[in-house]
Structure 1
Amino acid sequence: MEMQHRARENCLEKSTEILESHQLCSSKDGKGKRLWNKVKYQLVEYHSLPGYLRDNEYILSHYRSEWPMKQVLLSIFSIHNETLNVWTHLIGFFIFLSLTIYTAMKVPNVVDIHSLHFPDILRKADLQKVHSELMTCLPSLPHMPYLHKLWESSMDLFPSLSSWYVMDLLYNCLPERFSHNHTDVCVLSAMMEDVVNVVAPSMTTPITRWPFFAFMGGAMFCLLASSTCHLLSCHSERMSYIMLRLDYAGIAALISTSFYPPIYYTFMCDPFFCNLYMGFITVLGILTILFSLMPVFQNPEFRTIRASLFFGMGVSGVAPVLHKLFLFWHHPEAIYTTGYELLMGMLYGIGALVYATRIPERWRPGKFDIVGHSHQLFHMLVVAGAYTHYRAGLVYLKWRDMKGC
C-alpha cells in the first residue's frame, strides 16, 4: 500500500515536472517569436550578407537582407545605406519628367518671333508680300506721309541695294513711337512685327522633336530603373539578378539616347553621316545591354570593366563632336553646345571614376555608410550631366528651328 502511494507521488511529480517544462518551453518559444519579429527586419552588417549582396566591402553596416516585399517597399521611407541611392535618382526622375512636360508645353513649336534677326527673315521672305504689308501700314504714320515713297525710290535709285537692307534701316533707325493729338498711333516697330508675322511662319517650320524627347525618355528610364534597383535588390537573389540587369540597361539607354540630339540636329542636312553616327551608337548601346545580361558581368570583380565599358560608350562621341566643330566652327551654337557636351562628359567621367575606385569610403571604411559614399556621388553626377545635356538640346532646337538646313 505504501509502495503504491510512493509510486503515485513519483508519477505526480514527474507529470508536474513535464508540465512545468512544457510551460517553460512554450514561454521561451513565445518570447523567441516576439524577439524574432522584433529583430528580423533590423539592418545587418556586411559580414552577415549573402554572397549576392556583397558588393562594396568598404560599406560595413546598415544593410537590408532578404526582407519580404512589403517591408522592402516601406523601407523607402527609412534610413539605411541605400536610402540616398534610391532618392537621388528618384528625385532626378521627377525632375526630368517635369522638364519633359514643361518643354513640350512651353518651348514653342516654332522659334520665338522676337528672337529672330530681322535681316535673316527678309533674306528668305517673299518680298512682294513684304511690300504689300509695308504699303498697308505706312499711311497710318501721320507725320511721315512720304515715307511710303522711300521704299519705291530706294529700289529705283539703288537697284543694287537689297530690299532687306532698306527695311532693316527703317526698322532700326526710325523712332519707335510717334504721337499725334496725344493719341498713340501705329509705330514702325509694330508694323514690321506684322510683316514678320506674315512672312516668318513660312521660313520657321519647326524641326522634328523626336531625338530630343528620345533623350529625355532615356534619361527618365535610367533614373527610374536605378532607383528601383537600389530599392528592391535586397528582396531575394532572383530579384537582385533582375534589377541589376535593368539598371545596366538603363545606363546604356541614357548614354545611347544622349547622342541622338547632337548627332541628328548637327547632321540633319547630311543623311549619310547622320545615319552613320546614329546607327553606330545604337548598335553599341544594344551590344552593351546584351553584354550586361551575362551573369558573369554582375560579379564585383567586373566593377572596373563595367565602368570602363560605359565610359567607352561616352568617349565614342568624340568623333561626331569634332566633325561638328569642323563643319560649323563659325556658328556660335556649335561652340555653345560643344561646351555643354564637354561639361556633360566631364561629369559622367568623374562619376564613372568615383564609382570604379569607391572613393571616399575606401579611405575610411564604415564612415560613409549612410551619407557620402561613392554610389551616391555617382548618382548626383549623372543627374547633373543629364541636365547639362538637356540645356544643350534646347540650343540645338532653337538653332535648327531658325536656320533649318
Structure 2
Amino acid sequence: MDPSILSGMRGFGVATIPRWPWFVFLAGGMGCLACSSLSHLLACHSKDFNLFFWRLDYAGISLMIVCSFFAPIYYAFFCNPYSRLFYLASISLLGVLAIIALLAPSLSTPRFRPLRATLFLSMGFSGVIPAAHAVILYWGQPHIFVALGYELAMAILYATGAGFYVSRIPERWKPGAFDIAGQSHQIFHVFVVLGALAHSVATLVILDFRLRLPTCAD
C-alpha cells in the first residue's frame, strides 16, 4: 500500500491494523516446508534418523495448520477480542497436542497413517466454527464470502491431498512404477502447496476487508 494513502487513512484506523499475524502464517508455511525438505533429504541416513525426521515432518504440517489460523481469525475478529482469544487459544492448544502425539515414535509407523491424516484434517476443519461466526457477524459483506470461497477451496485441496496420502494411490495399483516420481506422498505435497496458496489469498482478502473498515466501536 502507498505510504501516502496509509497516512491519509489514519483516521479510519488503517494504521492500527498490525501485520504480524500475516507473518506468523508465512513463518508457519516456510517452517513446514523446511521440515519437509530436511525430512526427505536426511530420513534415509539411518533408522534413527528416519524415525526422527518423519516425526519432524508431521510436526511441521501441524505447525503450518496452526499458524494458518492466526491471520484470518485475528483480522476477522479484530473488534471481538474475546472471540479472537478463544479461537486462537483453542487452535494453539489443539496444535500443541497434535504435535506431541505426532512426535511419539510409536505413531510414526505406517499403521497409524490414517490417524495422522485424521489429526491434520481435524485441525483444519476446526476452522468451520470461527468461519461460521465471521459470516454471522459480517453477513452481507462481499469480502467475507470471497474469502470463504477461497477457504473452501483450501479445505478441498487439503482433503484431496490427505486422500492420496492415506490411500497410497497410484503406487498401490502398480508397485515400483512410482518410486521416483508420481507417488502419493509427492501428490500430497502438491495439494498442500496449492491449499496454502488458496489460504494466502483468503487471508489477504480478509486483511483488505479489515483495512477498509472504520475503527471498532467503543
Q: Structure 1 residues 275 and 235, CA, compared in 2 at 3 Å: closer, same or farther?
A: same
RMSD: 1.7
CA distance in 2, matches of 1:338, 1:327: 13
Which is higher, the Rg of structure 1 or of structure 2?
A: 1
1:285 aligns with 2:95: yes
Higher relative contact order (CA 8 A, sep 6+): 2
Matches within 5 A, 1:26-41: none
20, 41, 56: which is aligned to 1:210? 20
**Aligned-pair CA distance for 1:372:** 0.9
1:297 aligns with 2:116: no
**Aligned-pair CA distance for 1:109:** 7.4
1:223 aligns with 2:33: yes
What secondary structure, in the 3-state scheme, does the structure 2 residue paired with 1:343 have? helix
**Aligned-pair CA distance for 1:329:** 1.7
Letter in 1 for 2:137: L
Q: Structure 1 residues 261 and 111, CA, compared in 2 at 3 Å: closer, same or farther?
A: farther
CA distance in 1, matches of 2:2, 2:83: 26
**Aligned-pair CA distance for 1:206:** 4.4
**Counterpart in the other structure of 1:5:** none
Q: Structure 1 residues 397 and 290, CA, compared in 2 at 3 Å: closer, same or farther?
A: same
**Counterpart in the other structure of 1:337:** 147
Deviations 1:326-346 (A, max 9, x none): 111211110111011101111
8 A contact 1:111–1:206 mirrored in 2: no
**Counterpart in the other structure of 1:276:** 86
Q: Structure 1 residues 399 and 378, CA, compared in 2 at 3 Å: closer, same or farther?
A: same
CA distance in 2, matches of 1:220, 1:356: 24
State the TM-score, normalized to the length of structure 1: 0.51
Higher helix share: 2
8 A contact 1:206–1:401 mirrored in 2: no
Unaligned runs of 5+ in 2: none
In the TM superposition, structure 1's runs of 4+ consecutive aligned residues that sit over 6 Å from their partners are: none
1:200 aligns with 2:14: no
Q: How many residues align structurally?
A: 214
CA distance in 1, matches of 2:112, 2:3: 48
Deviations 1:251-285 (A, max 9, x none): 00011111111111111101111011100000000
**Aligned-pair CA distance for 1:393:** 1.6
8 A contact 1:245–1:293 mirrored in 2: yes
1:248 aligns with 2:55: no
1:400 aligns with 2:210: yes
Q: Structure 1 residues 111 and 401, CA, compared in 2 at 3 Å: closer, same or farther?
A: farther
CA distance in 1, matches of 2:29, 2:191: 13
What secondary structure, in the 3-state scheme, does the structure 1 residue paired with 2:11 have? coil
171, 179, 192: which is aligned to 1:382? 192
8 A contact 1:111–1:401 mirrored in 2: no
Letter in 2 for 1:381: F
CA distance in 2, matches of 1:384, 1:344: 7
8 A contact 1:111–1:398 mirrored in 2: no
**Counterpart in the other structure of 1:364:** 174
1:263 aligns with 2:73: yes
Q: Structure 1 residues 350 and 338, CA, compared in 2 at 3 Å: closer, same or farther?
A: same
Unaligned runs of 5+ in 1: 1-107, 114-196
CA distance in 1, matches of 2:84, 2:140: 20
**Counterpart in the other structure of 1:84:** none
**Counterpart in the other structure of 1:354:** 164
Deviations 1:79-130 (A, max 9, x none): xxxxxxxxxxxxxxxxxxxxxxxxxxxxx276957xxxxxxxxxxxxxxxxx
Percent sequence identity is 46
CA distance in 2, matches of 1:377, 1:317: 24
8 A contact 2:55–2:105 mirrored in 1: no
